[in-house]
């Protein structure tokens, strides 16, 4: 597919590198000369210098020859305008815009009501906020990810030296009598990603992801030694940007006592006018004396959400040392993600990965419903609809030659049944199938789920 990306920042680079690896032809429009030179050196893409708000520049970049436009500049207005230009001057088939404003819901309504032709408006802050809210009261869990409209859950956790299952194989874990419909789907061990099998040993220091149904999630958490906390009472937030404010407002609605720490005095004044009960403190969240003065002892959760990864890591580690059980850090440098986990930070979230996941869902062929990327894009959870003509349909899992490095984690039937399958289960047409796979085998999985008619259309 020929794709034009408007904007050459870090998110655009991440999206482009991923799409290039998957065989797409990429052109990037970026106005900064130094950034253009960097993109030229690091990516196998055509780079055009100029503004994404310029009709002439976009046409020069081949707007009238692409199938998709992805607008991820630093300006919401330019992203929306680029999509309007793509519809008006080139009738580009698929148009995606990232919007960072807190008014993103209004942007979506304007786009729909005025037929701007924007197929997807991405708001990474809201996606990351939802991810944080799902795990903020579960100290031992890094993520809880929803599939099949929330009927399938995937949670991640560190394997500690005193975890009862450390040193056991998955077969031994299964023999211990776990709740039905549960499965260890992924294991991260240092820089290694493992799609596990029965003889695989779970080691201290591993980070494992476990698949469960919505109905048995609490039972599976208990089996793995994870206890949910009761109702949240007190939460500290460090960082007064949009995501910090939005989380403070949502936690207020839930009756949580929130204290938000922000360095900038002007920003503090602005935030104080937006929140109702949150206590806004001018201070440095990476300073131990500040945290102790603000009575961090006994806090249920600590959310480090500044714009600087290093500050978020330092603040999170400090909070852990001061006894906070649940710590969340906003991290956008993907190379930091595995390190942060090993350092003991419960949960790390990335707006860039959230943006990439949303884009990949649109770019991917076939009935792709959701995409979730793990760490440095090493593995994916991908949710697909089983087409009538798919070569996997009608066969039992034990008879399907899945690519090495892929596993079926769950199946949601059209009638509402949700199962974490074993080898005697067959995939039926219309099933929502959740795979866990190494990034390198995802294209093969997608191809297998296309029926023959769709394959011919893609090859035409």
304: left (phi over 0), alpha (psi -120 to 50) or beta: beta
The verdict on 384 and 343 lying in the same domain is: no
Q: Is residue 185 part of a domain?
A: no
DSSP reduced 3-state for 338: helix
CATH number at residue 392: 3.30.70.1450
The verdict on 347 and 371 lying in the same domain is: no
pTM above 0.85, yes or no: yes
Q: How, if at all, do strands 120-122 and 94-98 pair?
A: parallel
The verdict on 384 and 452 lying in the same domain is: yes
The verdict on 333 and 348 lying in the same domain is: yes
Q: Is residue 416 part of a domain?
A: yes
Query: Which long-range contacts (C-beta less than 8 Å, at least 24 apart) are formed by 413-420?
Result: 418/148, 418/151, 418/152, 418/181, 418/213, 418/214, 418/215, 419/181, 419/213, 420/180, 420/181, 420/182, 420/183, 420/211, 420/212, 420/213
The verdict on 367 and 432 lying in the same domain is: yes
Domain that holds residue 255: 234-353
Chain Cα centroid distance, residue 238: 21
The verdict on 344 and 243 lying in the same domain is: yes
CA-nearest of 407, 405, 356, 403 to 377 is 356
Check pLDDT > 70 for residue 365: no
Q: Is residue 406 part of a domain?
A: yes
pLDDT averaged over the chain? 90
Contact predicate 259/282, CB 8 Å: no
- Number of structural domains the chain divides into: 3
309: left (phi over 0), alpha (psi -120 to 50) or beta: alpha
CA-nearest of 5, 88, 10 to 52 is 5
Q: Is residue 267 part of a domain?
A: yes
Q: Is residue 291 part of a domain?
A: yes
The verdict on 288 and 344 lying in the same domain is: yes
The verdict on 10 and 115 lying in the same domain is: yes
Note the pLDDT tens digit of each residue in 19-76.
Answer: 998 889 999 999 999 999 999 999 999 999 999 999 999 999 999 999 999 999 999 9
Note the pLDDT tens digit of each residue in 261-297.
Answer: 999 999 999 999 999 999 999 999 999 999 999 999 9
Share of the chain above pLDDT 90, in %: 67
The verdict on 71 and 86 lying in the same domain is: yes
CATH number at residue 80: 3.40.50.720
Among 296, 331, 353, which residue terminates a domain? 353
Check pLDDT > 80 for residue 159: yes
Q: Is residue 104 part of a domain?
A: yes
The verdict on 341 and 391 lying in the same domain is: no
Q: Is residue 96 part of a domain?
A: yes
The verdict on 263 and 375 lying in the same domain is: no
Among 311, 335, 353, which residue terminates a domain? 353
End-to-end CA distance of the chain: 12
CA–CA dist 29, 131 (Å, integer): 31
Among 91, 122, 153, which residue terminates a domain? 122
Q: Is residue 66 part of a domain?
A: yes
The verdict on 362 and 311 lying in the same domain is: no
Note the pLDDT tens digit of each residue in 291-326.
Answer: 999 999 999 999 999 999 999 999 999 999 999 989
């Amino acid at each position: 597919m020929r794709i034009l990306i408007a904007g050459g920042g870090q998110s655009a680079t991440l999206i482009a590198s991923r799409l290039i690896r998957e065989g797409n032809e990429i052109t990037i429009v970026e106005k900064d000369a130094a950034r253009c030179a960097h993109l030229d050196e690091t990516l196998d893409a055509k780079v055009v210098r100029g503004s994404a708000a310029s009709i002439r520049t976009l046409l020069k970049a081949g707007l009238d020859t692409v199938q998709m436009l992805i607008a991820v500049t630093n300006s919401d207005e330019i992203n929306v305008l680029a999509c309007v230009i793509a519809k008006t001057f080139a009738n580009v088939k698929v148009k995606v815009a990232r919007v960072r404003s807190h008014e993103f819901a209004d942007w979506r309504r304007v786009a729909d009501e005025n037929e701007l032709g924007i197929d997807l408006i991405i708001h990474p802050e809201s996606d990351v906020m939802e991810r944080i809210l799902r795990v903020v009261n579960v100290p031992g869990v890094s993520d809880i990810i929803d599939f099949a409209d929330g009927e399938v859950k995937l949670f991640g956790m560190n394997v500690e030296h005193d975890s009862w299952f450390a040193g056991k194989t998955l077969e031994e874990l299964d023999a211990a009598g776990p709740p039905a419909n549960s499965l260890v789907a992924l294991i991260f061990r240092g820089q290694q990603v493992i799609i596990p099998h029965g003889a695989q040993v779970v080691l201290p220091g591993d980070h494992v992801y476990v698949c469960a149904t919505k109905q048995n999630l609490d039972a599976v958490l208990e089996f793995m030694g994870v206890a949910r906390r009761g109702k949240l009472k007190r939460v500290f937030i460090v960082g007064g940007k949009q995501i910090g404010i939005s989380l403070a407002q949502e936690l207020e609605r839930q009756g949580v006592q929130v204290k938000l720490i922000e360095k900038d005095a002007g920003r503090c004044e602005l935030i104080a006018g937006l929140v109702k009960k949150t206590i806004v403190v001018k201070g440095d969240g990476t300073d131990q004396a500040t945290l102790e003065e603000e009575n961090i002892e006994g806090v249920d959760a600590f959310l480090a959400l500044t714009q600087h990864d290093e500050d978020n890591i330092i603040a999170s580690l400090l909070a852990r040392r001061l006894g906070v059980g649940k710590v969340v850090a906003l991290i956008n440098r993907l190379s930091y993600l595995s390190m942060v986990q090993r350092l003991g930070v419960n949960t790390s979230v990335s707006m860039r990965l959230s943006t990439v996941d949303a884009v990949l869902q649109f770019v991917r062929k076939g009935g792709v419903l959701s995409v979730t990327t793990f760490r440095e894009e090493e593995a994916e959870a991908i949710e697909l609809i089983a087409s009538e003509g798919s070569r996997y349909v009608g066969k039992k899992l034990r008879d399907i030659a899945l690519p090495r490095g892929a596993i079926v984690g769950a199946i949601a039937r059209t009638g509402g049944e949700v199962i974490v399958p074993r080898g005697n289960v067959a995939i039926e047409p219309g099933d929502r199938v959740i795979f866990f796979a190494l990034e390198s085998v995802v294209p093969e999985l997608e191809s297998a789920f296309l029926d023959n008619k769709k394959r011919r259309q893609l090859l035409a």
